[in-house]
């Protein structure tokens, strides 16, 4: 149950080629920092685009950096994920000591929801034309804690600072630039887009790696040819009795990369593609698929500047390329940045990357 291993050229990164031994490829990355950043890829997309028309890279259990191999789903900090282009965050919380703290199962992830909101809004203040979808879920709902919905409402009200979308309908990009878009699954209160009403493929309990990928692939293909008014979420992540999140990602991510790469350059909406340990090459493929969407909606987005045709992904300054020019032979446009990175075989220490939750001090605001 290893990775796909196509022939590799000297000096190139192939999806799955080295990741059996190392921590980084174009599709998979378990090192502490992404190889490239893409901080402003939404900036030149038209305001009139509904979020359901976009291809959006996301992470599953986005703050799960601790708990060992069985529980750890990511190796990049929240800030690193946002800088790399992640625009969907999956945040799992439990009520503890009167506040919402981030957990994966019973393991505390050294973060609070208030801190996650503050850090995300700090990123959005620096990149005001971006938007971040945030699924907020009660962890271990079979042991549901009284007051979760009330705590969530209070947290969003006090930390939102007027920059949180808590309405049921799917907004356009223009309506939510600079904002967090909440997706939730509460029983008796609406605090965002109802998560369970969306089109979701989340076969998280993995008994067969091949079957896991086939189901994710089928859903991606349905998204590409489906109703653009519906928001689609495809989880490429998973866990299981005989596997772990990292092993699933090493198998599924390269296949997802190859599948999306075969359709590169065509008008395409992949919906929200949610991953564990994504590589920046895979993120770039998802982001790049929005360039044709931008062209098709140029008439609707009056007054929105469009990218020049020489720019392969239709983005402005701040959008950044994959680290390997041989993997993507076209020339990287100005504004794409490769980040200093550890050697691809270097190990990962999540504890050194996770930052402390910011101290209190943000002013209260309205939803």
- Token digits of residue 10: 């000297």
Q: Is the pLDDT of residue 337 over 70?
A: no
pLDDT digits (tens, 9 = 90+) for 154-183: 999 999 989 999 999 999 999 999 999 999
Query: According to CATH, what is the number of the domain 24-289?
Result: 3.20.20.190
CA pair distance 274, 60, nearest whole angstrom = 6
Average pLDDT over residues 181-203: 94
Instruction: Give the pLDDT band of residue 100 (cuts 50, 70, 90).
Output: very high
Average pLDDT over residues 44-53: 96
Contact 271, 233 (CB under 8 A): yes
Torsion of CA 67, 71, 75, 80, to 10 degrees: -100
CA pair distance 275, 33, nearest whole angstrom = 16
Average pLDDT over residues 7-33: 65
Average pLDDT over residues 49-59: 97
CA pair distance 296, 282, nearest whole angstrom = 23
Q: Provide the CB-side half-sphere exposure for 193 (13 A, CA).
A: 23
pLDDT digits (tens, 9 = 90+) for 216-271: 999 999 999 888 899 999 999 999 999 999 999 999 999 999 999 999 888 789 99
Q: So where are the chain's domains? A: 24-289
Q: Is the pLDDT of residue 51 over 50?
A: yes
Contact 103, 143 (CB under 8 A): no
Contact 176, 131 (CB under 8 A): yes
Give the pLDDT confidence score for residue 161 in this predicted structure: 83
Residues comprising the chain, all counted: 367
Q: Worst-scoring range by mean pLDDT, 23-27, 133-137, 158-162, 334-338? A: 334-338
Residue with tokens 């910011």: 358
Q: Worst-scoring range by mean pLDDT, 49-58, 74-83, 264-273? A: 264-273
Give which of 152, 92, 111, 115 is closest to 367, Cα–Cα: 152
- Token digits of residue 247: 């092993």
- Token digits of residue 17: 């080629």
Does residue 70 or residue 335 have the better pLDDT?
Answer: 70
Q: Is the pLDDT of residue 9 over 80?
A: no
24, β-bridge pairs: 29
Q: Which helix (H) or strand (E) holds 216?
A: helix 209-225
How many C-beta atoms lie closer than 10 Å to residue 311's C-beta?
A: 17
CA pair distance 264, 258, nearest whole angstrom = 10
Distance from the Cα of residue 84 to its chain's centroid: 9
């Amino acid at each position: 149950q290893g990775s796909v291993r196509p022939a590799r050229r000297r000096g190139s990164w192939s999806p799955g080629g080295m990741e059996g031994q190392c921590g980084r490829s174009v599709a998979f990355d378990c090192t502490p920092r992404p190889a490239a950043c893409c901080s402003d890829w939404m900036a030149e997309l038209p305001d009139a685009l509904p979020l359901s028309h976009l291809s959006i890279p996301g992470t599953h259990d986005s703050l799960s950096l601790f708990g060992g191999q069985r529980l750890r789903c990511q190796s990049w900090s929240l800030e690193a994920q946002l800088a790399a282009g992640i625009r969907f965050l999956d945040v799992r919380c439990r009520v503890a000591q009167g506040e919402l703290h981030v957990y994966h199962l019973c393991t505390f992830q050294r973060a609070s929801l208030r801190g996650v909101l503050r850090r995300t809004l700090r990123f959005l203040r620096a990149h005001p034309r971006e938007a971040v979808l945030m699924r907020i879920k009660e962890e271990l709902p079979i042991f549901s804690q009284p007051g979760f919905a009330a705590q969530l409402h209070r947290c969003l009200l006090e930390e939102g600072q007027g920059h949180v979308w808590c309405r049921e309908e799917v907004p356009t990009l223009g309506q939510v630039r600079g904002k967090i878009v909440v997706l939730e699954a509460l029983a008796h209160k609406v605090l965002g887009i109802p998560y369970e009403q969306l089109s979701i493929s989340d076969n998280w309990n993995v008994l067969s790696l091949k079957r896991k990928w086939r189901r994710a692939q089928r859903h991606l293909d349905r998204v590409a040819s489906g109703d653009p008014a519906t928001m689609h979420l495809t989880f490429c992540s998973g866990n299981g009795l005989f596997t772990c999140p990292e092993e699933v990602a090493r198998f599924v991510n390269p296949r997802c990369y190859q599948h999306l790469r075969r359709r590169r350059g065509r008008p395409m909406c992949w919906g929200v593609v949610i991953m564990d340990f994504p590589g920046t090459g895979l993120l770039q493929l998802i982001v790049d698929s929005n360039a044709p969407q931008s062209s098709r909606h140029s008439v609707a987005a009056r007054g929105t500047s469009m990218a020049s045709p020489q720019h392969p992904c239709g983005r402005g300054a701040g959008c950044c390329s994959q680290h390997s020019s041989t993997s993507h032979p076209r020339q990287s446009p100005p504004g794409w940045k490769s980040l200093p990175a550890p050697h691809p075989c270097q190990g990962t220490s999540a504890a050194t990357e996770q930052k402390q939750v910011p101290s209190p001090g943000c002013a209260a605001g309205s939803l």
